[in-house]
């Protein structure tokens, strides 16, 4: 994870109704749209919008989600991982059980390299010194559930080891914000959000962990899954996906 991976750009396709052509754009009133970044016989990569569930929740009002929309189009699509409802960006789905098992194993073995982009409150200065020659630094704080306030998480010495790499992309001195590139080494619930709040730089628009003034600075959580690099689950070929942050 210390390497700055070269991640190739992928042109997104917008699917608006049932069609097996991932390049088609057809509008209907009955099929909610979703954005398809990559499709082959074994794997789908999608751009999940902020505010849409990745998988169904509890209750009739939480059944519309990205996975359900995709499964109307690709009946063999299966869930592999999730993004928070408030987070946007790249989400993978497997086509069939074999691909799902192989992708799940790749996530478990940390063979999937994930990268996010976020805008945080305050001016976070780049690290200096020999420990960060490439401009990356590490947040190494254990996390566990905040049981009285679930699903919130918290930093706790008794929690699970949790690590996030970060790199400054830009500062906005007037707005007093910092744009960051983030790489989660581990994959704990709300890890990026809790880690950034813990070091005093909560993500703008974070209704769970930011103070009210920081929540109000953006109409949504400014956190986006912008890149994934992984071996293809069947061919083993290196697959690099990118999706630019919409903020």
For the record, the structure tokens of 231 come out as 């071996």
Q: Give the number of residues written for the chain.
A: 247
Residue 121 appears among annotated catalytic residues: no
Which residue of the set 21, 84, 137, 206 is catalytic? Answer: 84
Q: Which residues are catalytic?
A: 84
């Amino acid at each position: 994870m210390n390497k700055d991976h070269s991640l190739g750009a992928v042109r997104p396709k917008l699917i608006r109704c049932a069609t097996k052509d991932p390049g088609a754009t057809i509008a209907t009133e009955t099929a909610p749209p979703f954005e398809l970044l990559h499709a082959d016989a074994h794997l789908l990569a999608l751009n999940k919008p902020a505010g849409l569930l990745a998988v169904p929740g509890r209750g009739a009002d939480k059944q519309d989600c990205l996975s359900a929309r995709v499964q109307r189009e690709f009946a063999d699509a299966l869930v592999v991982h999730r993004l928070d409802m408030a987070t946007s960006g790249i989400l993978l789905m497997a086509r069939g059980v074999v691909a799902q098992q192989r992708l799940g194993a790749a996530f478990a073995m940390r063979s999937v390299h994930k990268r996010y982009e976020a805008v945080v409150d305050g001016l976070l200065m780049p690290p200096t010194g020999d420990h960060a020659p490439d401009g990356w630094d590490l947040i190494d704080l254990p996390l566990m559930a905040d049981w009285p306030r679930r699903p919130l998480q918290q930093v706790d010495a008794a929690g699970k080891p949790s690590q996030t790499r970060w790199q400054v992309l830009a500062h906005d001195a007037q707005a007093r914000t910092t744009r960051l590139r983030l790489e989660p080494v581990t994959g704990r619930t709300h890890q990026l959000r809790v880690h950034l709040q813990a070091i005093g730089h909560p993500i703008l628009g974070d209704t769970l962990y930011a103070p009210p003034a920081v929540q109000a600075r953006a109409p949504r959580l400014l956190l986006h899954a912008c890149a994934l690099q992984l071996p293809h689950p069947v061919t083993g070929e290196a697959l690099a996906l990118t999706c630019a942050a919409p903020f």
